[in-house]
Structure formats: structure tokens, C-alpha cells
Amino acid sequence: GYPEERVTMVPNACDLDLFRPELRAPLDARFGAPDDFRAIFTGAHGKANGLDAVLDAAVVLKRRGVRGVRLVFIGKGGEKPRLMQRAAEQGLGDVVTWLDAVPKQELAAIVAGMDAGLMVLRNLPDFYYGTSPNKFFDYIAAGLPVLNNYPGWLAEIIAEHRCGIAIPPDDAEAFADALLKLRDDPAGRAEMGRRARRLAETQFDRRQLGERWVNVLEKEGTKGLRDTGT
């Protein structure tokens, strides 16, 4: 019931100077063979992140005998030891790479060297429209197509701008299929990446959104001074 004209939405934003496609460079052996297809997850490894979904897809790939796909996890969290133990017990060492959190400058270079970004959360309705994860904005700023595994506004924006693939939640086969679709279509993947960067530049530029935020505060501050006669 609040007046619509009194509401301004300033969403999360992309650091276009830090995360850039042109930072792409060869990566070291931690990230698999030079010609591997690499998909990355960055950030917290907690219960809310639902990262078993990625390992479930890795199990499917291994069962199918797929080689040349590397799933990279960078970050920390309460679930990480258990996830690493599960991966070891299921023999996923040739599919999965684990790294601790790294400084943003280093992360930007690593992300630019990837082929896709993984936007993964537990399948909870509260997350569909109630989250705005930093990693999504880093991925698109770096020009990565995004593989998203839950419904909501991110799935919708990915579909609208054709900058990745949105799959149903809790579907390991669909997750594995999406990874292979991205791997097997380098030209399509590159075009998704270009659209991702374009989306970052046109809708989520941190400088533009920062200016919008400041303008709203200054406008309301000036109005408040007028209203009080100051």
C-alpha cells in the first residue's frame, strides 16, 4: 500500500572494472587439463547453498564416463569438509577442484578463465525472489554464461537475456545435461557470455547504480530540508 512513486529499487551490482572477460588467461594444473570445460562456484559453502546438487551432477557425469569436465569450488563454509569428504569417497577427484577463498583480484582472474558460472542454492521458495547473490553479478561481469538450478528472478533474467541455462531444481540429470550442452557448444557459450557482459554493463553497472542511490538520497534529503523550512 505504500505509494509506488516513493519507492526506488537499487539492486545488487557488478564491478565492471574488477571482473572483466579480458582477464582470461591459461590456468594452472589445479583446474584440470588446458582443454577441460570448467564451471565455477564461488562463495559460501553452507547449508543454504545446496552444493550437493553439483556433486550429484558430478556423479552422473562420472557414471556416464564423461571426461574433460572440471567443477571448481572456491570459498569456505560449514558444509565444505563434508562435501570434500563426500567427493573423495565417491571418487570425484578427477572432476572436482576445491580451493579456499582467495582475494578478489585473484578471484577475478580465475573467474575470467572459466567457461561457466554455477548459481546454486537449495530448493527453498524463500530463495526464489528473496536472494541477490554476489556471485551472479561477478559471473556476468566476467562474461560467463550462468548455469542456475532454482526458479525465481535469476532464472527469469537468464532466460530473458539468454545468458545461460536455467534448469529445474533437484534434477542431477538435467544439471549434467546442461553442463554438457555448454561444453559441446563453444560458439553458443561464447555468445551467452557476450550477452552476460552486456547485461552487466547495461543494467547492473555499480557506478550507475551508485549514482542512482546517491541521487535518491540527495533528492529526499533536499525535500526533507524544504519540508522543515531549513
Tens digits of residue pLDDT in 106-157: 999 999 999 999 999 999 999 999 999 999 999 999 999 999 999 999 999 9
Amino acid sitting at position 75:
G
Question: Which residues lie below 8 Å from residue 139, measured CB to CB, with a gap of 6+?
Answer: 111, 117, 119, 146, 196
Alpha helices in 48-132 (DSSP H): 52-63, 80-89, 104-112, 125-130
Q: Residue 125 corresponds to which cell in the numbers above?
A: 521458495
Q: Which long-range contacts (CB under 8 A, 24 or more apart) does 24-29 make?
A: 24/112, 24/113, 25/109, 25/112, 25/113, 26/113, 27/110, 27/113
One-character DSSP codes across 183-216: HT-HHHHHHHHHHHHHHHHHH-BHHHHHHHHHHH
Task: Please name which of 143, 138, 135 lies closest in space to residue 164, comparing C-alpha atoms.
Answer: 143
Note if the pTM is more than 0.85: yes
In tens, the pLDDT along 154-180 reads 999 999 999 999 999 999 999 999 999
